[in-house]
Structure 1
Amino acid sequence: MNEILDAILASDTTPEDFAALRIPESYRAVTVRKDEADMFAGLTTREKDPRKSLHVDEVPVPELGPGEALVAVMASSVNYNSVWTSIFEPLPTFGFLERYGKLSSLTKRHDLPYHIIGSDLAGVVLRTGPGVNAWKPGAEVVAHCLSVELESADGHNDTMLDPEQRIWGFETNFGGLAEIALVKSNQLMPKPAHLSWEEAAAPGLVNSTAYRQLVSRNGAGMKQGDNVLIWGASGGLGSYATQFALAGGATPICVVSSPRKAEICRRMGAEAIIDRTAENYRFWKDENTQDPREWKRFGKKIRELTGGEDVDIVFEHPGRETFGASVYVTRKGGTIATCASTSGYTHEYDNRYLWMSLKRIIGSHFANYREAWEANRLIAKGRIHPTLSRTYRLEETGQAAYDVHRNVHQGKVGVLCLAPEEGMGVRDQAMRDRHIDAINLFRDDASERTGKRSRDDASERTDKRGRDDAPQRTGNHGEGAR
């Protein structure tokens, strides 16, 4: 692994040099273990501790198949699916791996007594399998997490409808929280040149998910002038939805849970903000009974912020806790786009407010390759920015997942895999300089909360670490090649 890292850090390594590198027999990876799947039996969700279930193990390098690539992972990030995997909810992921393993002799590789997790990465292509033409060793890439077989006609209009659609690193093995990852070549996209490794790794899953759910015609199809209610507007998903709304000429109504989170939304450019904790909204009277009076009070607050208008779109991901209110406050003919359900999967709402007002509920799940490419393209153009707040070392992934599980994080948290320190991998310093305040926004907030450094210090340190005049190794990417 040291030889691979040295080649990546050197400024003069050629694609031929990368192709000649020896692939090690094993690498370090974050895993959950099949024989520990019952370790949290009897505990509540909140009591389950990812620090106990996530391990950093030495694992064999998987066999490379047709249409696949081995990528040296410089950085990754933690998503909610990493948390769900680590606490074995809603069920252990080994059932996913077993089913995938039965598909073919090649997919049998994924059915192992350990699961290498992680659905984001930024890194460098090391090897490609037969049939891969668009990517060469040495290409600097990010990966989106849709794994598809595309042998059925169902997936060829929208790959998210493929019967064999899976989320890489959650429903497949060999994910991105590791020193090496195995991906399909149609997961790869160019790494944004102005970002560091950890910044480039952070947006993938959540940025693409927010793009499909809010912007795409497969989701809410947001347009200029729309009022968009965004739950958790400073969080992992919501922070990208807020940026898409602002960049697309819509008005985000940002729902947050603290003054600090409200300030982050203001710094992103949002003006209509609801601190649900300060307003003391209680949408449920008890565990089984919702309170429509609170829906009405919430709707009144929204209209105060929008000049009397209801919302055209609700960006829904909390699920059970908020769904009744979301359906109620949406305007006649409006859209509730939903995914994730982090507060519970069993949604309840009064159907009169949906059916009689001609509203629509749209289920949205991740994104197809086209949507992920467009979302990444906006990152590369500096229109949308990463929301990275802090990073952890690979050995600290359990703590990172714990922090996300307990919601003590802000935006996204990154994990350094092969990258020895933050700020490496920047290829376009001039573009970075133009966007440095937006890039550092969530980091600055984390620094202010911990008292570690001021905003100016954060910008200066990130700039110094990020300066790298090495040429970008892009290979032949086809569309979007630089």
Structure 2
Amino acid sequence: MQKILDAIQADELDAIGSLPVPESYRGVTVHADEAGMFEGLESRDKDPRKSLHLDDVPVPELGPGEALVAVMASAINYNTVWTSIFEPVSTFKFLERYGKMSPLSKKHDLPYHVVGSDLSGVVLRTGPGVHAWKPGDEVVAHCLNVELEGPDGHNDTMMDSEQRIWGFETNFGGLAEVALVKSNQLMPKPKHLTWEEAASPGLVNSTAYRQLVSSNGAGMKQGDVVLIWGASGGLGSYATQFALNGGAIPVCVVSSQEKADIVRKMGAELIIDRSAEGYKFWKDENTQDPKEWQRFGKKIRELTGGEDPDIVFEHPGRETFGASVYVTRKGGTIVTCASTSGYMHQYDNRYLWMSLKRIVGSHFANYRESWEANRLIAKGLIHPTLSKTYALADTGQATLDVHRNAHQGKVGVLCLAPEEGLGVRDHEMRAKHLDAINRFRGV
């Protein structure tokens, strides 16, 4: 691995293909025999530092249509949290199911799971049938893993019957020194970003693009009022940028004055600090409070001059979903993914059916949507929201930060990169956007 890193740092990328691939690498894993370690604990009390391990693991066999990537940096997503606390199910169930699909996928069914759904790095090797990428290419990867052997995915690859999220429902993810991806996950690394900055947008940027901008999601248009939950977080920070860039009017919901200051720096003007307002959408574990929905809706109208949201960008789930359905305008759209506060949503259906609203489920993005989202990053129209970067050995702590919502934007992880600030190719472009790139730093 050191020889590979030396070649990358010396900008000798043409030599990468001639260097031997190591037999093993360091990767962050969970172990199948520990899947029950948190039984009886509440989700909030489950500690990823106890379940995530930094292990030496064998380099997987490279198959047709696949690529091995030397990972310079990665990032933490909520699916890393879910994997680490074995919720809602152990990811080993995913790996077992995938392993039964074909001889090629059998290698994913292991007693350990190398996690992570983001990366930036350099292609080491490509398998048979790969023509668009070669060793030495600087890349980022999106996390859609598809087979496309059936008809369903050929209009929208997210509809493929064998669609999976790499590093969550497959093995050999990006929180490691080496990752195995399919070649159609690869995209060019934005040249003006460091390794850790380039790694951080992948999953959340593509997810927000499909959810809010794409015709497969909400199909946002100019002038739309868009309510964005968690507007300074991993997903919300990109939704806020897309709304502003697309001529929409974001109403940004945050949980502190500090977070409100961040979204103001992005250019948002209409901000609701839900902690300061004291909203309590649930009277108890089983009962919501419609009066709080009404109070929340009134606050939105105060900010917008009397308009309700055309689109609600939903991802907290159980805690907020009733309020989201209520406040959406007649004929409007609630577009939802994730459900970080709980999957079992409850809402009053009268406000949906009688007002002709619609709920749209949105999950990650297809290759085209991911490419478009990455292109916007590469052109400096959308910026990374990286706030803090950890060493690979400290991935457990980084995941705990995300689990406890003690973070802003995205949390990065250095894999092979020995320090932050490396990997920039276009310094002139970087200088133009440096303030925007660093908006979330240190917050």
TM-score (norm 2): 1.00
User: How many matched pairs?
Assistant: 443
2:267 partner letter? G
3-state SS in 2 of match to 1:22: coil
* Structure 1 residues 166 and 260, CA gap change in structure 2 (3 angstroms): same
Residue 316 of structure 2, aligned match among 315, 318, 328: 318
Aligned to 2:122: 124
Instruction: Kindly state the Cα deviation for residue 106 of structure 1 after the two structures are TM-superposed.
Output: 1.1
Residue 438 of structure 2, aligned match among 437, 440, 454: 440
Aligned to 1:459: none
Corresponding position: 1:9 with 2:14: no
| Identical-residue share of aligned pairs (%) | 81
**In structure 1, C-alpha distance between the alignment counterparts of 2:406 and 2:13, rounded to whole Å:** 42
**In structure 2, C-alpha distance between the alignment counterparts of 1:431 and 1:252, rounded to whole Å:** 27
**In structure 1, C-alpha distance between the alignment counterparts of 2:101 and 2:309, rounded to whole Å:** 44
Report matched runs for 1:300-449 at 5 Å.
Answer: 300-444=298-442, 446=443
Moved over 2 A (4+): none
**In structure 1, C-alpha distance between the alignment counterparts of 2:10 and 2:108, rounded to whole Å:** 33
Aligned to 1:256: 254
Deviations 1:124-179, CA, capped at 9 Å, x for gaps: 00000000000011000000000000001000000000000000000000000000
**In structure 1, C-alpha distance between the alignment counterparts of 2:419 and 2:16, rounded to whole Å:** 22
Aligned to 2:162: 164
* Structure 1 residues 421 and 396, CA gap change in structure 2 (3 angstroms): same
**In structure 1, C-alpha distance between the alignment counterparts of 2:33 and 2:285, rounded to whole Å:** 34
Aligned to 1:205: 203
* Structure 1 residues 274 and 391, CA gap change in structure 2 (3 angstroms): same
Alignment check: 8 A CA contact 2:13 2:137 kept:
no
Aligned to 2:245: 247
Aligned to 2:76: 78
Corresponding position: 1:236 with 2:234: yes
Instruction: Kindly state the Cα deviation for residue 116 of structure 1 after the two structures are TM-superposed.
Output: 0.2
3-state SS in 2 of match to 1:109: helix
**In structure 1, C-alpha distance between the alignment counterparts of 2:234 and 2:128, rounded to whole Å:** 36
Residue ranges of structure 1 left out of the alignment (5+ in a row): 447-482
1:164 partner letter? E
3-state SS in 1 of match to 2:7: helix
Aligned to 1:453: none
Deviations 1:9-35, CA, capped at 9 Å, x for gaps: 013x143x1110100000000000000
**In structure 2, C-alpha distance between the alignment counterparts of 1:284 and 1:26, rounded to whole Å:** 50
Q: Select between 286-295 and 108-117 the one with higher mean Cα deviation.
A: 286-295
2:134 partner letter? K
**In structure 2, C-alpha distance between the alignment counterparts of 1:96 and 1:230, rounded to whole Å:** 31
Instruction: Kindly state the Cα deviation for residue 75 of structure 1 after the two structures are TM-superposed.
Output: 0.1
**In structure 1, C-alpha distance between the alignment counterparts of 2:13 and 2:277, rounded to whole Å:** 58
Residue 292 of structure 1, aligned match among 290, 293, 310: 290
Aligned to 2:104: 106
Aligned to 1:146: 144
**In structure 1, C-alpha distance between the alignment counterparts of 2:366 and 2:359, rounded to whole Å:** 20
Instruction: Kindly state the Cα deviation for residue 438 of structure 1 after the two structures are TM-superposed.
Output: 0.5
**In structure 1, C-alpha distance between the alignment counterparts of 2:187 and 2:33, rounded to whole Å:** 35
Corresponding position: 1:277 with 2:305: no
**In structure 1, C-alpha distance between the alignment counterparts of 2:421 and 2:194, rounded to whole Å:** 5
Aligned to 2:153: 155
2:8 partner letter? I
**In structure 1, C-alpha distance between the alignment counterparts of 2:399 and 2:69, rounded to whole Å:** 23
**In structure 2, C-alpha distance between the alignment counterparts of 1:280 and 1:188, rounded to whole Å:** 44
Aligned to 1:190: 188
**In structure 2, C-alpha distance between the alignment counterparts of 1:394 and 1:303, rounded to whole Å:** 45
1:69 partner letter? A
**In structure 2, C-alpha distance between the alignment counterparts of 1:406 and 1:326, rounded to whole Å:** 23
Corresponding position: 1:115 with 2:103: no
**In structure 2, C-alpha distance between the alignment counterparts of 1:352 and 1:398, rounded to whole Å:** 44
Corresponding position: 1:51 with 2:44: no
